[in-house]
Structure 1
């Protein structure tokens, strides 16, 4: 019976992923075709590319949802401890939700209390994902001209320097009946029960929210009245983070030490390679690249001792993958083989993937799509 259920879940994941991915992929193809036709109009091309970027980011979120659901099923998600600036996180969330609210002519309000300049220790990726999923769910199930409110409030500060924060998402949408509330956390529920394009989705959002909140040590509280709206609320305890301002200042000063340092970039994907080279060269680094694992090993072994200061290593490459390239480099007899900093670049975003990279012999692990901030943190911290 369990095997049959697992197979059904796998089929549902694949069907749901295909269904949800079709629309954004079609949108990207359409916008690229439009940009090609308007190639001589710089403003229109820029507008099309910005839309492609936004849709691509949403598509990446979808893929992450599917992967997270799979990891939840297998019990493989771990909670990280990292710095979170609450205000900055909320601002990033607002950028996404405001656009969605405007599309449906909804009012979107944010109410915060006691979080100004609050830096805490927690898992920003998972916390942001929960809040975004709750807000996107509210947007989806609230009619045009409806209202959505995000509340973030510091409740108290204990003597052990822990901070309690309340997160709440409220809407005046279609609401949920009392007997249906417990069922909303079942995966794929919306796909099966809301056969309506207005309320489309993977049905994974609330399921993932509940599971992630429990992993972070709390529970998701739901209050709802059919036809009047819903409130989703949870409370979390965090440790305070004290030295972020000093860390940022140090990073800005330390950027000068990167100038003219040499990087071996091992990346087989041309677009990803181009993006990485642009970011690294913008930081003043000198970049040489390999397009597969075998080539990366050959370039390292052919170079002078201490010629390369850093290696950025794609994990999945043809001929020899990044893990085996790292092993080959670390096990070579060169004096610099143990000291050179090797940074993994991978689409695998889970803590166990980072742990595997470190166990192999890599020094840092950054997730794709890479950006300037993640590269700076990997180089300097």
Structure 2
């Protein structure tokens, strides 16, 4: 029989697996987990995987036994391509692979998909595990084919050439070109751009080739031979449309001008038309390339919060018996999940981003919470590139403000993620926060300065950094992924808040982004530490600015302080004070210091003064990997930089006064538990997993929950129930049999008193402006977006269930 520990671990693994599956289902993309065996066996896949291939999970398992080789049995070429790609990636020790290939759906239709697969350091039954994301790019491939048809129907002969090594390499051409010159590519043009060698043609080449090697547009006339051997004269218009490996790619259009009597008029018209045509082609190719690149660049931005989610999940699993650590991990997972959701929402609603129609929230929050959430998300990336990251807070008197914390955090993360990406390894990144004098009553004026010593930007790129899809063209950074949207979105958000964002940069030396904004102030609470200033607090940090700002915070709390810039100096000061029986009240030590780090400093201080003085370790990073060694060295606790007044007060209360920490948000949760006992709700949801989540959330309030699996069931249940049975209805929008919009209209038109007044809340993944307008027009009171936000749900319930007289909003 399994031991109790094994049983707990099994439950923990089951819980983690459930959270992982839930997250993958909510992402809205096809995600699957495979064994790298001879079948590429599917271990797990979310609903969108089966929607993509057209088979249900049950059908797929019954017919193919989760074996991909059986699924590809009728498409051996695609299967061999997939196997060869995976094999090559494994043999060359790559982290994964990408592949574009068609797959066959259940109905026989073949669609094009993009495989983005990562190999995991995980083995099942001796086989390595791989995680795959399948993206449907069928529309994009069809668009390329349509563009090819358009290309073939352009007037005249059209071809593409690469200019290199003093000549021309034929790349591709339309049908008219091939019919005239032949279809053998380079062999059909033995004399450069034509099939006829004359001194005049050679002179024309000698004159124009240097210009084309520079990528300049050219226009000239060449003599050719038609298929019957007859002389022809061609007006050639060539425009550089791309550069590959430092070689220009030219689009060349040939126009037959053999009829000399019409040559002048034709030449004038054709030059104008060819110029417009080339400009149109360039614009179309640039737009298509930007959108295509956007999909691949998104990978990094999605992986940043995903990395935090998976990392915190792993930490939670390894501390399953530590309630406080689990609570901390869950809080950080929630923060990262919200960031991931906001990114997906912005990508899906491009029109909203480009037009700046983003709604700003008005919530109470603490700047300290934003900074700690931000540190949690960027921490893995900072560690990966071995950067130094410091945060300095100057004269920050008001930490608690009112605004849109998620949008502010989004702006800061956009800037910081760029600083991390575009700064070489072991770089330095600094965030300075300043509260400056405000000329608006009730508002604080804040300045956030982000500095790095990275690659920097050219003056030309600085001018267009806030334009959508723009990325710097630089050999140093061409391999770095990015969407090209972050700074455009950030500028929109900051300006909607009435603030501003400025950038200055020196190429090769680094960049400085300055964000200024007004934030409404909350009513500040007085800090009552109940600590007598019997002795100063010692602050130890190699960064003098950090020492000074921390000492300022201590002074604001009524405590004296001293500081040291190294571990060695701190040891001497602590030992000297101890010998004179004037021990410090507490010692705050930075974790990362050159020479002797914070842990070793704490160990040496403990040897000299004993265990009675609280030692607090200070870090701008997550301390998980250092926790065991730090506690063994005698460290009492940990605090995250920057040392804002609230976090410093909390640390002193906990580690000096030994006050216990209150669980995060528990007070609010206790108030809600059982608050709606006796109320009956109707939940209308067709998806089993979403229904399970919603029922759990709603039942925590004490409410009774009845379930309908589609709109028709909801209508039938409402009609069969006595009047006023249901106090609230949560309604999904897209459902089989009958959708939520139609069901709401029917309920509102029923001949009974409660049909008009029962609150109906949309609970749906349809989140666009037009979706919200449609649900309101149908008679719904509110519109909640999936994934579900507990706070928002509870606020809605308190609003409608605590107001008996609430009527339907027109």
Normalised to the residue count of structure 1, the TM-score between the two structures is: 0.78
Select which of 352, 355, 358 maps to 1:77.
358
CA distance in 2, matches of 1:58, 1:85: 17
Determine whether 1:297 maps to 2:715.
yes
1:7-156 aligned within 5 A: 9=287, 12-13=290-291, 16-17=294-295, 20-21=298-299, 60-113=341-394, 114=396, 116-120=398-402, 122-156=403-437
Distance 1:161 1:196, change over 3 A: closer
Question: Secondary structure of 1:338's partner?
Answer: helix
Which structure has the higher relative contact order (CA within 8 Å, separation 6+)?
1
- Where does the alignment leave 5 or more consecutive residues of structure 2 unmatched? 1-275, 311-316, 321-325, 526-665, 800-810
1:1-381 aligned within 5 A: 9=287, 12-13=290-291, 16-17=294-295, 20-21=298-299, 60-113=341-394, 114=396, 116-120=398-402, 122-158=403-439, 160-190=441-471, 198-242=479-523, 253=671, 255-349=673-767, 354=772, 357-381=775-799
- Stretch moving more, 344-353 or 69-78: 344-353
CA distance in 2, matches of 1:288, 1:137: 48
* Structure 2 match to 1:35: none
Distance 1:280 1:174, change over 3 A: same
Residues 314-334 of structure 1, C-alpha deviation per residue, up to 9 Å, x if partnerless? 233334333333333233232
Deviation of 1:81 after TM superposition, in Å, equals: 3.3
Contact conserved, 1:323 with 1:357, CA < 8 A, in 2?
yes
- Stretch moving more, 363-372 or 127-136: 363-372
Deviation of 1:135 after TM superposition, in Å, equals: 1.4
CA distance in 2, matches of 1:249, 1:13: 47
Contact conserved, 1:77 with 1:350, CA < 8 A, in 2?
no
Question: Secondary structure of 2:754's partner?
Answer: coil
- Stretch moving more, 355-364 or 65-74: 355-364
Deviation of 1:53 after TM superposition, in Å, equals: 9.1
Distance 1:352 1:155, change over 3 A: farther
Q: Would you tell me which structure has more helix in proportion to its own residues?
A: 1
- Stretch moving more, 61-70 or 192-201: 192-201
* Structure 2 match to 1:36: none
Number of residue pairs the alignment of both structures matches = 365
Deviation of 1:17 after TM superposition, in Å, equals: 2.3
Contact conserved, 1:83 with 1:241, CA < 8 A, in 2?
yes
Contact conserved, 1:68 with 1:208, CA < 8 A, in 2?
no
Contact conserved, 1:190 with 1:200, CA < 8 A, in 2?
no
Residues 146-205 of structure 1, C-alpha deviation per residue, up to 9 Å, x if partnerless? 222333332234463122222232222111122221122222223976796751011111
- Where does the alignment leave 5 or more consecutive residues of structure 1 unmatched? 33-41
Residues 340-370 of structure 1, C-alpha deviation per residue, up to 9 Å, x if partnerless? 2222223355677556544543333332211
Deviation of 1:277 after TM superposition, in Å, equals: 1.7
Choose 1 or 2 for highest CA Rg.
2
CA distance in 1, matches of 2:737, 2:462: 51
Distance 1:61 1:147, change over 3 A: farther
Normalised to the residue count of structure 2, the TM-score between the two structures is: 0.40
CA distance in 2, matches of 1:251, 1:53: 16
CA RMSD of aligned residues (A): 4.2
CA distance in 2, matches of 1:258, 1:357: 26
Deviation of 1:221 after TM superposition, in Å, equals: 0.3
CA distance in 2, matches of 1:233, 1:204: 18
CA distance in 2, matches of 1:324, 1:241: 44
CA distance in 1, matches of 2:667, 2:510: 45
CA distance in 1, matches of 2:522, 2:747: 37
Residues 238-291 of structure 1, C-alpha deviation per residue, up to 9 Å, x if partnerless? 3334599xxx97885454321242221222222222222222223323222222
Question: Secondary structure of 2:464's partner?
Answer: helix
CA distance in 2, matches of 1:230, 1:19: 22
